[in-house]
Amino acid sequence: MTSAPHNARLSFDPSVLPIAQLESLKFKANQMIESIQLLQRTIEVGGQNVMPAWPDILSKYNILLSQSHSLSMSLLGPGHNTTSSQTPGNQFERLALHPRVAMTDQQLDNELIPLLRNQQTTDVLKIENDIVRHLSEHMETKGSVGVLNQNANTSGNALGRRPEYEDVLRECEQIRAEHDERIDRAVRAVSMLREKYDWKARVAVDQEEPEELEWDPRLDAEPSGQALPNRAGARGESEDTPNGRQSNDSDEEEELEEVLGNGDDQTPDATPGAGAPPEMAGK
């Protein structure tokens, strides 16, 4: 009886594999990895303590969203072979990863096992647990932590009992509804401010500035008393406003204050009224 050779190969015909579809999936997956890395570099801004432009983040996120949707559709609806000899369906479901040659344990752990991984890595799982725990600490029901904790103290709980998953879902729905209300109020406030103040006029550059363009350094040597009347007169002209302007502004400020509210229950204690406009800060 002869023993099988050590480097025996598995007889397999690669022509039955959907090589073109697999190469397409590989290309799309690499595109997503590059887009994720590009979005990460955009948000980090090289470690600087700055916020990148929102349109740049949104455009890169939309690209990533489009690529993930394309990959999902390719996985769910690949080209089906509708011949009579084969049952139509997702051809990827009938594929299995198997080495063609014998592998050592070290090769198996380093080369094959990572391709079979279908669970979260340790780092991703740790970050997810930290996020869930941080959110649970700020919830009345304590989230899933409060549900799974059998020895939880219910004395400080608003429910007076150990929370259930339905209670956690209701609180999450309430948090989302309150968040949407804050968004609506913020959008209304920004819209009212945009209608009240002509931002184009505020940021526009006046091209006709003869006093600055024709500035002469020799004028600094003149006595300061000669230039004061003109400056005072210019200031006085700029401060003159129609009589009805003040009343209109007060009405708009009252309407804006109604939209924003007092901010006691919506604004953190550390920054009371941080979102209020300048004219409301002094009230």
List pLDDT tens digits, range 194-246: 887 776 776 666 665 555 556 666 665 555 545 444 444 444 444 444 455 55
Among 201, 219, 246, the domain-final residue is 201
Asked whether residue 165 is domain-assigned, the answer is yes
Q: What confidence category does residue 36 fall into, taking pLDDT thresholds of 50, 70 and 90?
A: very high
Give 6-34 pLDDT, tens digit per residue. 555 667 777 778 888 889 998 999 999 99
Residue 179 confidence (pLDDT): 92
In a domain, 225, yes or no: no
Residue 136 lies in a domain: yes
Measured CA to CA, the distance from residue 165 to residue 144 in angstroms comes to 7
Tokens of 7: 């480097």
Q: Which of 37-46, 51-60, 105-114 has the lowest mean pLDDT?
A: 105-114
Structural domain contains residue 238:
no
Residues 6 or more apart in contact with residue 76 via CB below 8 angstroms = 90
Higher per-residue confidence, 84 vs 206? 206
CATH code, domain with 46: 1.20.58.1710
Last residue of a domain, one of 75, 100, 120: 75
d(CA 38, CA 59): 11
Average pLDDT over residues 65-77: 89
Higher pLDDT, 113 or 66: 66
Phi first, then psi: what are they for 9, rounded to 5°? -105, 145
Which of 17-44 are b and which e, b meaning 16 or more Cβ less than 10 Å from the residue's Cβ?
eeeeeeeebeebeebeeebeeebeeeee
Domain boundary among 185, 201, 217: 201
pTM of full prediction above 0.85: no
Task: Name the band, by pLDDT with cuts 50, 70 and 90, for residue 91.
Answer: confident
In a domain, residue 161? The reply is yes
25 domain residue, yes or no: yes
- pLDDT at position 240: 46
CB contact set of 221 (below 8 Å; sequence gap of 6+): none
For residue 267, name the pLDDT band (cuts at 50, 70, 90): very low
User: Under DSSP, is residue 196 helix (H, G, I), strand (E, B) or coil?
Assistant: helix
Bridge partner residues of 9 (DSSP): 101
Domain membership of residue 41 as a residue range: 18-75
Q: Is residue 85 a part of any domain in this protein?
A: no
Within a domain: residue 220? no
Q: What is the C-alpha to C-alpha distance for residues 239 and 109, in angstroms, rounded to an integer?
A: 78
Q: What would the two tokens of residue 203 be? A: 């940021």
How many domains does one find in the chain? Answer: 2
Q: Quote the distance between the C-alpha of residue 163 and its chain's center.
A: 30
